[in-house]
Each structure stands twice: as structure tokens, then as C-alpha cells.
Amino acid sequence: MKLAQPTKSERTRRLIIERSAELFNQKGFAGTSYQDLMQATGVTKGCLYGHFSSKEELAVAAFEFVAQTLIDRVGSAIAPYEKAGERLRALLSFYRTYLTNPIIAGGCPLLNTAVEADDNHPALHERVVHVLNRLHKGVRNLLELGKAQGAFRASADTSAMATFFISSVEGGILLAKAYGEEKPLQTVLDQLERWLQQELGSF
């Protein structure tokens, strides 16, 4: 059965979301004006309002788009492997190239949005927490898989380890962005890998 082609309105909405996502990630919600959005998307203010009732609604849609892109990229990185140890190494490798092969210009969208949305934009903050929970669940499930396969220590606290994994990676990304170089992230990932090997056994 032939799939229905997206309508002109759907294509326009998609274009607005994709181009706005990069703009929000680079300039932040507060730093992005409607004039910026109009210039980036090539549509009028009336068209923007026709698809999104407010700038915040557009920002939420843009964040959801880029967050799903991140989830998909992570999934693609580990999908070729069946063994949990291989998947864990693939996940670490994914983050080793996170800055040189970004999913979007402007740095990590989770980190950027979390910092700005913490107190001022509850709808965005809610989406950030949702994505972090998905990542936490994914890492925890990967570690549980390793235990089920007999590759990781049965006593490993997978929930706590998933929390430490995500906080370490995001902290490394923050330092790398602040210093304008990759070395802090690579250092964090090196230490994280050694810690995982110690906690899980060799993988």
C-alpha cells in the first residue's frame, strides 16, 4: 500500500520545527526572537502562529524533534550488536564523537534546554526530564541485559550506574563546551570506562 504523502501544511510545519530547533539550541529560548524565527524558517509571523500558538509551543516541538533524533542516533549506534558489552562500548564510542559529529549545532540539546528551562519554562523542563528518563532506562536495560547474559556482575546496581553514566557524560559535555575543546569529555569517558570495567567486570 502506498503511503500518503505529507501535505503542504505538514511539510511547512516540519520545516519550521527543524530550522527552529537549531536556532533555539544555539541562542536559547529567551535569546530567540520571532524575527530570528522568521528569518531562519523563511515564513511569516502569521504562518508561525498558524502552526504554533506561542513561541513556547514551537520550542517544545523543536526540542522533541531533536531529542528524538538523539534517541534514534543512540539506538542506531548500538543496534548492530547483540552482546551487552559490545553495546556498552558502542555507546561510549557514540559519545566520544558527540562533539565532532553533533546531532545539531550549538551543543547538547538536553544540557542546553535543561539549564534554561529549569525554573522558567515548565513545559520544556518536563520534556527534558522525560528524555533523561528514557536515556536512563535505556542504559539500565543495557546493563541488565549484560547481567542476564552473564557478562556483568549480578550484584551491579544498574539503576545507580545508569544515573552515574548519564551525569558523567553530560558533565563532560558541559566542561568541553565551557573550555571549547574535546579533552574534558574524553577524559571523563576514559574514567567512566575504567569505572564501568571495575564495577561490571571486563566488557
Q: Using alpha carbons, select from 154, 121, 106, 114 the residue that is nearest to residue 135.
A: 114
**Domain assignment present for 101:** yes
Residue 98 and residue 182: Cα distance in Å, rounded? 9
Q: Using alpha carbons, select from 51, 203, 24 the residue that is nearest to residue 110.
A: 24
Tens-digit pLDDT profile for residues 90-111: 999 999 999 999 999 988 999 9
Tens-digit pLDDT profile for residues 64-84: 999 999 999 999 999 999 999
pLDDT over 90 at 44, yes or no: yes
**Domain assignment present for 52:** no
Section 126-138 average pLDDT: 96
20, 58 contact by CB (below 8 A): yes
pTM value is 0.91
**Domain assignment present for 6:** no
Confidence of residue 2 (pLDDT cuts 50, 70, 90): low
Q: Look at residue 92 in the predicted model and tell me its pLDDT.
A: 98
Q: How many domains does the chain have?
A: 1
Confidence of residue 117 (pLDDT cuts 50, 70, 90): confident
**Domain assignment present for 173:** yes
Residue 112 and residue 9: Cα distance in Å, rounded? 29
> Is residue 81 helix, strand or coil?
coil
Q: Look at residue 83 in the predicted model and tell me its pLDDT.
A: 97
**Domain assignment present for 125:** yes
Confidence of residue 148 (pLDDT cuts 50, 70, 90): very high
pLDDT over 80 at 138, yes or no: yes
**Domain assignment present for 24:** no
Section 117-138 average pLDDT: 91
Q: Look at residue 1 in the predicted model and tell me its pLDDT.
A: 55
Which cell numbers in the block locate residue 138?
A: 535505556
Per the structure, the complete domain to which residue 191 belongs is given by 60-200
**Domain assignment present for 164:** yes
Q: Look at residue 3 in the predicted model and tell me its pLDDT.
A: 61
Q: Look at residue 115 in the predicted model and tell me its pLDDT.
A: 87
CA–CA distances in Å: residue 62 to residues 23, 24, 66, 131, 148: 9, 8, 6, 14, 37
**Domain assignment present for 166:** yes
The CATH code of the domain that includes 90 is: 1.10.357.10
Q: What is the 3-state secondary structure (H, E, C) of 14-32?
A: HHHHHHHHHHHHHHHHHHC
Residue 104 and residue 111: Cα distance in Å, rounded? 13
